[in-house]
Amino acid sequence: MEFATRAVRQGYTLVELIVAMLLFAIGGLAIAGTSALIGRALNVDVVRERAARAAGRQIEIIAASCREATSGERTGPQIESAWTVSRSDGDRVDVTETVSYPTTRGRRTDSYHAVVPCL
C-alpha cells in the first residue's frame, strides 16, 4: 500500500509578502497624511487662541482706563488687532475688538464685543 505524501508548506509565498508590504505601505501613508493634517489644524488653533487672548487682554486694558480709552490698532507676529471704543453714556463704553490671523485657507477675522463699565 502506497501513501501519497504531501510536502508540508512552511512560510509565505512571494505574492503574499508583496500584498502584505503594500497594505502596510498604504496604512503608513494614511497615518502620515492624517498626522500632517492634524499638525496644521493644531497650529491654526494655537494662533487662534493667541488672537483671542490678545483681544481679551486689550479689552482688559481698556476696562482699566475706561474714561481715557481710545480706538487703536496693533500688529504683532501673525496677529493684527484693531479696536473701536464708543461711549454710550458716561458710565460705560462699548468696545469692539477685531483680530485677524493666518489660517491654511487664508486670513481669518474674528470680532469681539464688550460693554465695559467705568468705575
pLDDT of residue 10 exceeding 90, the answer is no
Identity of residue 94: D
pLDDT tens-digit readout, 13-45: 999 999 999 999 999 999 998 998 888 888 888
Helix (H) / strand (E) element for 91: namely none
Please state, in angstroms and rounded to a whole number, the distance separating the CA atoms of residues 20 and 15: 9
pLDDT of residue 75 exceeding 80, the answer is yes
pLDDT of residue 98 exceeding 90, the answer is yes
What are the b/e assignments for 3-29, b being 16+ CB within 10 Å?
Answer: eeeeeeeeeeeeeeeeeeeeeeeeeee
Please tell me the predicted confidence (pLDDT) of residue 67: 83
Mean pLDDT, the chain, as a whole number?
88
Determine which of 31-40, 77-86, 107-116 has the lowest per-residue pLDDT on average.
31-40
Is the pTM of the predicted complex or chain greater than 0.85?
no
pLDDT tens-digit readout, 40-50: 888 888 889 99
| CA 23 centroid distance within chain | 32
